[in-house]
A and B are shown apart, each in its own frame.
Chain A
Amino acid sequence: DAKTTQPNSMESNEEEPVHLPCNHSTISGTDYIHWYRQLPSQGPEYVIHGLTSNVNNRMASLAIAEDRKSSTLILHRATLRDAAVYYCILISGNTPLVFGKGTRLSVIA
């Protein structure tokens, strides 16, 4: 029972912004929205998380819809190093990280 829906794959040109969408129409009020990514041959790494307000950090921005039923991870300038699988995950209470299939992002030079 997937709680989030993401496109299987996306493509971006290098140095252009990338908007990775995630639908979570059944989100509950206590669910935090987390994003992780997994680069080839590496373990997953944390990108960003938020609850209601938009969030920014050095890696990315997270835009959360007002009704919280969707969110968008924004990479402001994609680089070849950003090619990875990106996972949008809902976490509530003490539930562990459960990964879905994610979005495979390809970056074209």
Chain B
Amino acid sequence: DSGVTQTPKHLITATGQRVTLRCSPRSGDLSVYWYQQSLDQGLQFLIQYYNGEERAKGNILERFSAQQFPDLHSELNLSSLELGDSALYFCASSVISGQSTEAFFGQGTRLTVV
């Protein structure tokens, strides 16, 4: 158990809908990262937050947004969903962001768009 909690574990929704994925980081971790992993695709970095502020942006679509709340949990909002958005979404957390810190990953949310 990494200490990072993601909910829900599974989500099935229709095209055009909007969903919210939630991540609770390990206690004390200030940095949260979001990743997308499609079938047979690698892990794509989406976005990073540090202590409530956006720190880095990767390949995140405009239809997607995220935020980190004062209690440090984070939410990833996916809107106008398309079939191609079906994927595993991982959240990770670390104490700080930086080269000498390790990140801990949750078990992921499997999103299926039908």
Residues of A participating in the B interface, judged by any CB pair closer than 8 Å: 30-32, 34, 36, 38, 42-46, 49, 51, 91-102
Contact B104 A46 (CB under 8 A): yes
* Contact between chains at B100 and A49 (CB < 8 Å): yes
Report Cα–Cα, A49/B101, bound state, in Å: 9
Judge if B56 is at the interface, Cβ distance under 8 Å: yes
Residues 65-99 (chain B) with a chain A CB within 8 angstroms:
90, 92, 97-99
Please name 7 further chain A to chain B contacts, defined as beta carbons within 8 Å, in addition to the given A44-B92, A91-B98, sorted by A numbering: A34-B102, A38-B43, A42-B107, A43-B92, A43-B107, A44-B43, A96-B48
Asked if B27 is an interface residue, CB under 8 A from chain A, the answer is: no
Residue pair A31, B102 in contact (C-beta under 8 Å): no
Q: Is the CB of B105 within 8 A of A91?
A: no
Interface residues of B in 28-71 (CB under 8 A from A): 33, 35, 42-43, 45, 48, 50, 55-56, 58
Q: Please, which residues of chain B bring their CB within 8 A of the CB of A46?
A: 102-104
Q: Which of B4, B45, B98, B105 interacts with A98 by CB under 8 Å?
A: B45
Does B17 sit within 8 A of A, measured CB to CB? no
Inter-chain contacts of A92 with B (CB < 8 A): 99
Are A97 and B103 in contact (CB-based, < 8 A)?
A: yes
A43 pairs with B105, CB closer than 8 A:
yes
When distances are taken between beta carbons in the complex, the residues of chain A under 8 Å from B20 are none
Interface residue from A30, A45, A51, A94 paired with B105 (Cβ < 8 Å): A45
Complex CA gap A93/B99 in Å reads 6
Write the nearest CB–CB distance from A76 to chain B, whole angstroms. Answer: 20
Contact status of A99 and B90, CB under 8 A, knowing A31-B99, A94-B56, A94-B97: no
